[in-house]
Structure 1
Amino acid sequence: MQTRTFAEWMADVDAYVAGPAAAWAQQIETTGAVPQAVWQELNDRGYLRLAAPRDFGGFGLTFVEYLRLLERFAAMHGSMRVIVHVMNSLWRSLASKASLGQMERFVKPFIAGQLRATFTLTEPNSGSGADIKTTARREGDEYVVNGEKWMIIFSDVADYFLLFCRLEGTSGGEGTLALMVPRDAMGLQIEYMAPAMGVTGTQHGHLRLSNCRVPVANRLGEEGDGLEVAFRGFLDPSRTAIGMTCVGAAQRSLDLATEHALTRVTFGQPLAKRQVIQMWLAEMATDIAAARQLVLHAARKLDEGHSITVDASMAKMFATEMLQRVTDKALQIHGGPGYFQSSEIERLYRDARMQRFEEGTSEIQKMVIARDVLDKAKAARERRNRG
């Protein structure tokens, strides 16, 4: 496998984002579709397996290193950013409970780009966690699955859906399953949803499972391990990574706004001379710097082997809301011309809204954080009472 220094990776990614990726962005916005050639190019360049271990066929970058590259990738078109992010994240879920045989069937082909899978948790009539309603019952060597999933990304290209459901008659975290459901599974119907507000060309799907039959051999881990595969394997690092994609998109927005402020002349002087514009730029830069450090703090903890559930929620919550503030100010600095689709800031503004939904809303992150704050306070009170 090709060996590169981190500096070489950074230079390569910067050149790609400024060149080929910019050309792809124009084509995607014009056609409303992500060509298969984009997937192939990203895979051929090694961008879809940066974070995976070398033993699995990846390049073995640390999480911090990967996130520093992801910040650069986030300046790309939103759909291309999503491809890089998901493919560099989902292997953790697949590998977390995979048997040796499943490593060969699913994990290594996924990392190599020979197999595409997508995270399949969200449902129309429930949240994205322990209240999942899609059920399964075992019949011999198969599970019979019934339920619905929606807003499932890459539904048009996925070979497998990493689907989370529960055994019939169970509730909460009990009896949850992680199943690799093949695209051609009997009883699976895939309906494509309407185009989204942003991330043009990324197809989301509504999955309907009616007595859908899935081999028991496609279960990752044991019965009851489903939510652990979802949350420990994928969501914590993925939430942190989303935080860094917000940092990258916000930095690009700041760069565009700054350049516009320096070149746009009104009433005889550049916008950059206006004090209010200077104040906005200062606020934007500070917001970005704070989010970047919060994300890197969580990433360093993951590299050191610590749990980052709360840190990931903090990073995602702050960074996604930061991105809204920064893109709003950036669009305001651009004025009327920034509102038209010919403007890059217009696309960044639309794409930015998606991150607040990915891997749980800000409200979900706040629940995770508040629970930790209260648990620590209760523990401290109990220690005082014992003392």
Structure 2
Amino acid sequence: MKKLFLFALVLAVAVAAIGWWRLAPRPHPVKAVRVKRGPVEMTVTATSAGTVAAAQEARLRPEGTGRVARIVHPEGDRVLAGDPVVELDSDVLRARRVSAEEMVKVQVAALGTARTWEKYAESEFRRVEKMWKRERQEDTPLVSEQQYREAEWKRDDAIARSVSAEAILSEAKARVAEIGVEIEKMTICAPFEGRITEMLVEAGETVAPTSVICELQTNHRLEIEAPFDETDFGRIGLDMEARLTFDAFPNEPVKGVVSKIAPKVTATREKNRTLKVTVAIPSAGKLSPGLSADVVILCRRVPEATYVPTRCLRDGRFVYVVEGGVARKKEVKTGVSNWETTEVLDLKEGTVVVSLLDLDFQGELDGKEVAVTETE
């Protein structure tokens, strides 16, 4: 009987121990990370892909009406500023210039004759005038007053003829220059360095000032415009670095610089409120207008920051620090942040922090014992 009692007692103690072991609180298994030191960046991403465009483009038009005589640079050619692109027929104008130049020669000869006669008339007038004055002083009838007046009139007439000849010569020269300008207008030149992206006329075609001859785009200065959410308005600034990833070259990221920010936010019923930002691409390389790219702007960078994965933050300002096997909820001051990492200003490097996304626990963890199963 005594043995049976002892057996029952041992069994009861064992059952109680098992029950206590099963019901006793256990440390909660968690995954954790250590606070690290390194660079942290604050970036903003465009709400949709942007499209590459030439920083400068133009649609060339003639200044006058004419027939296309020659296409100097066809579609696809690279041109320098001032290079002729298309020449219009200028044969009629050139013939007019030859005629005008001949007229200049005639007027040069006429002016020479007029000036020779002017010199003679001036000399003759001086001679007659001298005798006229002497006659009035000495009362000697060398020349009559009529002869004096006639010499004076001839002198004045010769001067007037010279002035008229000079004016006619100036008009003739101006006409030559005017025709020269008209001839120059018959050659459509590139206003800047670039590539002919589209030629819209053919040789023999008649064009007018309203006709578009071709389209020209810069081939070394490209830019990309992309929309950003209105919440990023206060973060984006000029000259900030931008990172571009092209669908055509996914493994070849390109750096750019913010060159323009729209003065207002676009607000329509169909779209969210967005801000248009233009990024200049310093080196075009093999890029071409029309390509699409994802745009990320680097707003700020801290090269030596203490940081944790952003997923460790609760409500954006709390973390669970593991101290002596217990999780302690702590409010932290944060700095630069992005989707992956967040700078924490008041945690030391090496501090163990619970990774919230890896936590399989319902309720408040503050003050609970934890067992770290994995540390990054």
Q: TM-score range with shorter-chain normalisation?
A: under 0.3
Higher strand share: 2
Q: Structure 1 length as normaliser, TM-score? A: 0.23
Task: State which structure, 1 or 2, has the greater radius of gyration over its C-alpha atoms.
Answer: 2
TM-score, normalised to structure 2, is 0.24
Larger RCO of the pair (alpha carbons < 8 Å, separation 6+) = 2
More helix by share: 1
